[in-house]
């Protein structure tokens, strides 16, 4: 019986090649979108699952509280001084380990020329292999990191320095000072990891005074750079552990300068490692994470596009219902059971869906390279045929086939043979409300995506073109610059010998980088000192930072070499003045101000500027001059011969830092990178909105075809009575336009609500403009009219004799 169903279904598909092509095209587009998004979603949900104990590994994060008890900073790393106390106090943990990310230069000891700046180097405790699953290709995991100045390399890094020879036992020079002995080689962690070390260096090496120092490792409660992890016993409740953290902080964390206990200034929290990528959105993470919100959004889009494709199939099947109705009547008249006819229709729809799936798999495979480039992932075609994904795809085909074929299968087979053969079914078909609901649903989804795409585009355009309050064009940024003040002044003079360089500055951070450094602030008036309740972010600069970035002053002056006391003085931004409570910017000038251990006067107030991205509000900020903090060089160039400028900078660089590779970035590129996620979201919304509107138009085309078929005689009579082509086109089009208008009315509030939630993530955002809804309405109505008018004009131009000759 099944073989017979498939044979008849195949014949029907070949008999109506045009409808078959449109059906398969629509479903393959829908299934391709579904498969592409499903690959992305399964990849996002699979982060850190490759560790065998993934569900028992928890990361410790530290939240800082301001004096009013509000959370002011959330970090995925903690200070080194916590580690020995955690190991001593929480013996129930199977393992506690930590990692410190460290960028530096590496070379072979006997090769001064072949040196590279290597990123993602991690100092790690020796038990790191007992917590995380590193695939060690060479070396002993129990001893690889037990000795000082030992290092385990990834296979690509080992090949970079040693070729195909085994590197174990050989030395690499780290930061031109330390000889590290290679004790192992490991496979790079999968892309689905929240961190990707290129090498692991023994944490015991940090006790060396030249690196961190044993005393600092024990006493430093402020340098929150260590990612620390617990491996808990099976079935252990992490909430039980978290409840003990306040008492732990009170016992070990030193009191604040104002006498507050540890639990009043900090909080410790645990995050399960597989949850870090999608659920942890702290102010600092080892690597940028994803967002479960977008997993939900794109999953919904995948299902909606698949739904649109199914609706499209139903409408196309309905368009052919008049010709299939007599077939159903004859089959019933000769004894066919309804369930047999249902099986026939469903087998036909599943066959169409199967063909569509084959095309979708081919399309997905061809799109994978572009998708990987776009998402920075490593999705492979083989994953499409993995057991779990293949099961998902099979279920999707069956459900799509059943959903797509259910309407014609259950609708047409419900009629009695006498009704069908007498032609009374035609009148029933004319009054079908379900088809109208389906078209409204299609266009409501499509219009929602169009509105969302427009708002995403406008928000991104707003952010990219918003005035930042500082110069970002033609600024070269270089990192790792640590030198004496005198040497740096000489460096700047050498740089400025080129006519294309206007200025240079040395700072702890540059715009586009999160402001994470802060210390306690207070205001002194007479003999009384008042702590500032709001946290104020700190930025160490030099005399030329403000002039290099062309930041405007609101009051007072810039730091000046003419005032020796400026080495201990401060410049605030307007947000800091407001947070402190001074009446005006001018009132702040000359005030005594203390920040950490620094005591001085406020000599200037800058206008507020967007140091961080527009995701964050402008933070209260203080600038001061502390040389030990500064490590970044900013060079302001004229818009002229940039290659000549870069060549000059490289020449000067090699004079001052001969052992360091010459590397730089442009600030405007860093600025654009802040909004890379939104740019990708805009592109994806645009693609899926286009797909949804295209598939919806296929469905509308089908319904127009069906209507023209059913009203052919009516149109013929109207033409005989003198109706014009325009009036016939209007007659056939207006009902469809009504459906699209209803869809827009439904889509508008849904899109407005969804995008209001999306925009709430931005500290600075657009209002949702009314014209976007009007433009979407005009676009949808225009596209719908063009789609319908093709069939309407065709019907209006048809010779009425053809439609009336049987009367």
Interatomic CA distance for residues 738 and 429, integer angstroms = 19
CA geometry: angle at 43 spanning 37 and 49, to 5°?
155
What residue has token string 């776009």? 374
Count Cβ atoms below 10 Å from residue 703 Cβ, excluding itself. 28
pLDDT surpassing 90 at residue 106 = no
User: At 63, which helix (H) or strand (E)?
Assistant: strand 57-65
Q: What is the 3-state secondary structure (H, E, C) of 325-378?
A: HHHHHHHHHCCCCHHHHHHHHHHHHHHHHHHHHHHHHHHHHHHHHHHHHHHCCC
Confidence of residue 753 (pLDDT cuts 50, 70, 90): very high
pLDDT surpassing 60 at residue 424 = no
Count Cβ atoms below 10 Å from residue 588 Cβ, excluding itself. 27
Q: Average the pLDDT over 517-533 and give the result.
A: 78
CB burial of residue 77 (10 Å; 0-12, 13-18, 19+): buried
Token pair in block for residue 563: 């005032």
Q: Which of 194-198, 516-520, 698-702 has the lowest mean pLDDT?
A: 698-702
| pLDDT tens-digit readout, 328-352 | 666 666 666 667 667 777 777 777 7
Token pair in block for residue 439: 């078209």
User: At 656, which helix (H) or strand (E)?
Assistant: helix 642-656
CB burial of residue 105 (10 Å; 0-12, 13-18, 19+): middle
pLDDT surpassing 70 at residue 715 = no
Q: First vs last Cα of the chain: how many Å apart?
A: 41
What residue has token string 């047409």? 412
Strand order in the sheet with 475-479: 501-507, 632-637, 475-479, 665-666
Contact yes or no for 111/146 (Cβ under 8 A): no
Interatomic CA distance for residues 98 and 230, integer angstroms = 9
pLDDT surpassing 80 at residue 793 = no
Confidence at residue 425, expressed as pLDDT on a 0 to 100 scale: 53
pLDDT surpassing 70 at residue 291 = yes
pLDDT surpassing 70 at residue 12 = no
Q: What is the 3-state secondary structure (H, E, C) of 190-227?
A: CCCCCCCCCEEEEHHHHHCCCCCCHHHHHHCCCCCCEE
Nearest C-alpha neighbor of 122 from the set 48, 221, 195: 195
pLDDT surpassing 70 at residue 178 = yes
Confidence at residue 426, expressed as pLDDT on a 0 to 100 scale: 52
Contact yes or no for 381/365 (Cβ under 8 A): yes
pLDDT surpassing 80 at residue 121 = yes
Contact yes or no for 39/28 (Cβ under 8 A): no
Strand, coil or helix: what is 595? Answer: strand
Token pair in block for residue 492: 């700047």
Confidence of residue 692 (pLDDT cuts 50, 70, 90): confident
Report in angstroms the alpha-carbon separations of 443 from 44, 388, 447, 457: 29, 33, 6, 21
Confidence at residue 119, expressed as pLDDT on a 0 to 100 scale: 86
Question: Following DSSP, what letter does each residue of 227-274 receive, concatenated?
Answer: EEEEEPPTT--HHHHHTTHHHHHHHHSPPPTT---HHHHEEEEEEEHH
Confidence at residue 356, expressed as pLDDT on a 0 to 100 scale: 84
Q: What φ, ψ does residue 226 adopt, rounded to 5°?
A: -100, 120
HSE, side-chain direction, 13 A CA sphere, residue 504: 24
Q: Which of 109-118, 254-263, 700-709 has the lowest mean pLDDT?
A: 700-709
Q: Average the pLDDT over 613-627 and give the result.
A: 87
User: At 58, which helix (H) or strand (E)?
Assistant: strand 57-65
Interatomic CA distance for residues 609 and 605, integer angstroms = 12
| pLDDT tens-digit readout, 458-496 | 888 888 788 889 898 889 998 877 666 667 788 888 888
Interatomic CA distance for residues 479 and 468, integer angstroms = 22
| pLDDT tens-digit readout, 222-246 | 888 999 999 999 999 999 999 999 9
The secondary structure of the chain in percent helix, strand, coil, rounded to multiples of 5, reads 50, 15, 30
Q: What φ, ψ does residue 404 adopt, rounded to 5°?
A: -70, -35
Contact yes or no for 86/228 (Cβ under 8 A): yes
Interatomic CA distance for residues 247 and 244, integer angstroms = 6
User: At 804, which helix (H) or strand (E)?
Assistant: helix 800-804
pLDDT surpassing 60 at residue 431 = no
Interatomic CA distance for residues 452 and 155, integer angstroms = 44
Confidence at residue 168, expressed as pLDDT on a 0 to 100 scale: 93
Confidence at residue 783, expressed as pLDDT on a 0 to 100 scale: 83
Q: Average the pLDDT over 24-30 and give the result.
A: 84
User: How high is the mean pLDDT of the chain?
Assistant: 83
Which of the 8 DSSP states describes residue 568?
T
HSE, side-chain direction, 13 A CA sphere, residue 623: 28
pLDDT surpassing 70 at residue 524 = yes
Confidence of residue 26 (pLDDT cuts 50, 70, 90): confident
**Which residues fall within 8 angstroms of residue 726, CB to CB, at 6 or more apart?**
none
Confidence at residue 728, expressed as pLDDT on a 0 to 100 scale: 67
**Which residues fall within 8 angstroms of residue 771, CB to CB, at 6 or more apart?**
none
Contact yes or no for 122/102 (Cβ under 8 A): yes
Interatomic CA distance for residues 419 and 39, integer angstroms = 48
**Which residues fall within 8 angstroms of residue 674, CB to CB, at 6 or more apart?**
512, 613, 615
Nearest C-alpha neighbor of 552 from the set 603, 606, 503: 606
| pLDDT tens-digit readout, 251-284 | 998 887 667 788 888 999 999 999 999 998 888 8
Confidence of residue 726 (pLDDT cuts 50, 70, 90): low
Return the higher-pLDDT residue of 693 and 16: 693
Query: Is the overall model pTM greater than 0.75, yes or no?
Result: yes
pLDDT surpassing 70 at residue 770 = yes
Count Cβ atoms below 10 Å from residue 799 Cβ, excluding itself. 10
HSE, side-chain direction, 13 A CA sphere, residue 30: 36
Interatomic CA distance for residues 485 and 504, integer angstroms = 13
Q: Which of 105-114, 697-706, 783-792, 794-803 has the lowest mean pLDDT?
A: 794-803
- Paired with 96 in beta bridges are 230
Confidence of residue 23 (pLDDT cuts 50, 70, 90): confident
Confidence at residue 150, expressed as pLDDT on a 0 to 100 scale: 95
Interatomic CA distance for residues 102 and 501, integer angstroms = 31
Interatomic CA distance for residues 392 and 49, integer angstroms = 19
Interatomic CA distance for residues 693 and 748, integer angstroms = 16
User: At 38, which helix (H) or strand (E)?
Assistant: helix 17-45
């Amino acid at each position: 019986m099944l073989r017979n169903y498939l044979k008849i279904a195949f014949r029907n598909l070949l008999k109506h090649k045009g409808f078959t092509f449109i059906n398969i095209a629509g479903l393959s587009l829908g299934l391709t979108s579904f498969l592409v998004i499903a690959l992305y979603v399964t990849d996002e949900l699979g982060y850190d699952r490759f560790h065998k104990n993934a569900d028992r590994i928890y990361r410790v994060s530290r939240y800082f509280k301001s004096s009013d008890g509000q959370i002011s900073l959330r970090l995925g790393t903690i200070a080194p001084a916590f580690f020995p106390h955690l190991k001593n106090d929480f013996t129930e943990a199977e393992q506690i380990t930590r990692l410190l990310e460290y960028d530096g230069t590496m070379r072979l000891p006997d090769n001064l020329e072949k040196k590279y700046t290597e990123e993602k180097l991690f100092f790690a405790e020796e038990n790191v292999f007992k917590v995380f699953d590193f695939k060690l290709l060479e070396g002993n995991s129990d001893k690889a990191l037990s000795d000082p100045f030992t290092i385990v390399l990834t296979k690509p890094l080992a090949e970079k320095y040693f070729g195909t020879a085994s590197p174990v036992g050989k030395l690499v020079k780290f930061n031109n000072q330390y000889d590290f002995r290679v004790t192992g080689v490991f496979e790079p962690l999968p892309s689905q990891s929240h961190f990707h070390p290129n090498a692991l260096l023994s944490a015991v090496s940090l006790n060396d005074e030249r690196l961190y120092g044993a005393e600092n490792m024990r006493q430093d409660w402020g340098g929150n750079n260590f990612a620390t992890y617990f491996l808990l016993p099976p079935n252990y409740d992490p909430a039980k552990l978290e409840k003990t953290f306040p008492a732990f902080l009170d016992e070990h964390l030193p009191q604040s300068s104002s006498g507050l206990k540890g639990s009043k200034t900090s909080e410790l929290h645990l995050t399960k490692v597989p949850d870090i990528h999608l659920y942890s959105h702290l102010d600092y993470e080892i690597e940028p994470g994803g967002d479960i919100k977008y997993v939900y959004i794109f999953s919904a889009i995948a299902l909606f596009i698949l739904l649109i494709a199914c609706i499209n199939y139903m409408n196309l099947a309905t368009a052919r219902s008049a010709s299939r109705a007599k077939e159903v009547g004859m089959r019933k008249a000769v004894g066919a059971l309804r369930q047999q006819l249902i099986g026939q229709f469903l087998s036909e729809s599943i066959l169409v869906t199967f063909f569509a799936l084959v095309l979708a798999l081919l399309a997905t495979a061809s799109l994978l390279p572009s998708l990987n480039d776009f998402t920075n992932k490593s999705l492979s075609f083989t994953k499409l045929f993995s057991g779990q994904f293949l099961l998902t795809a099979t279920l999707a085909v069956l459900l799509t086939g059943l959903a797509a074929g259910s309407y014609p299968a259950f609708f047409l087979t419900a009629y009695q043979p006498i009704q069908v053969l007498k032609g009374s079914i035609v009148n029933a078909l004319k009054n079908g409300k379900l088809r109208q609901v389906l078209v409204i649903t299609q266009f409501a989804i499509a219009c929602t995506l169009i509105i969302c795409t427009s708002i995403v585009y406008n928000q991104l355009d707003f952010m990219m073109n918003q005035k930042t309050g500082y110069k970002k064009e033609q600024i070269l940024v270089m990192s790792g610059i640590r030198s004496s003040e005198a040497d740096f002044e000489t460096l700047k003079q050498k740089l400025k010998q080129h006519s294309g360089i206007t200025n240079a500055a040395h700072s702890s951070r540059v715009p586009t980088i999160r402001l994470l450094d802060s210390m306690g602030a207070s205001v002194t008036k007479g003999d009384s000192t008042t702590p500032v309740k709001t946290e104020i972010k700190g930025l160490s600069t030099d005399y030329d930072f403000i002039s290099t970035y062309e930041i405007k002053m609101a009051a007072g002056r810039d730091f000046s070499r003419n005032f020796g006391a400026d080495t201990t003085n401060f410049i605030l931004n307007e947000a800091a003045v407001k947070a402190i409570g001074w009446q005006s910017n001018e009132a702040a000038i000359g005030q005594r101000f203390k920040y950490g251990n620094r005591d001085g006067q406020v000599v200037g107030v800058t206008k507020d500027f967007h140091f961080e991205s527009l995701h964050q509000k402008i933070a209260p900020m203080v600038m001061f001059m502390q040389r030990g903090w500064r490590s970044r060089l900013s060079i302001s160039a004229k818009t002229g011969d940039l290659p000549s400028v870069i060549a000059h900078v490289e020449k000067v660089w090699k004079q001052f830092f001969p052992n360091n590779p010459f590397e730089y970035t442009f600030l405007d590129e860093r600025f654009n990178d802040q909004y890379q996620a939104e740019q990708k979201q805009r592109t994806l919304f645009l693609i899926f909105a286009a797909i949804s509107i295209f598939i919806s138009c296929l469905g509308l085309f089908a319904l127009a075809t069906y209507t023209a078929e059913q009203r052919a005689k009516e149109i013929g009579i109207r033409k005989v009575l003198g109706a014009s082509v325009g009036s016939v086109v209007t007659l056939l089009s207006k009902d469809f336009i009504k459906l699209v208008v209803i869809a827009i009315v439904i889509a508008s509030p849904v899109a407005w609500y969804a995008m209001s939630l999306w925009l709430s993530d931005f500290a600075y955002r657009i209002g949702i403009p009314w014209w976007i809804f009007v433009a979407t309405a005009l676009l949808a109505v225009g596209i719908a009219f063009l789609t319908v008018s093709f069939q309407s004009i065709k019907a209006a131009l048809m010779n009425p004799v053809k439609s009336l000759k049987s009367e």
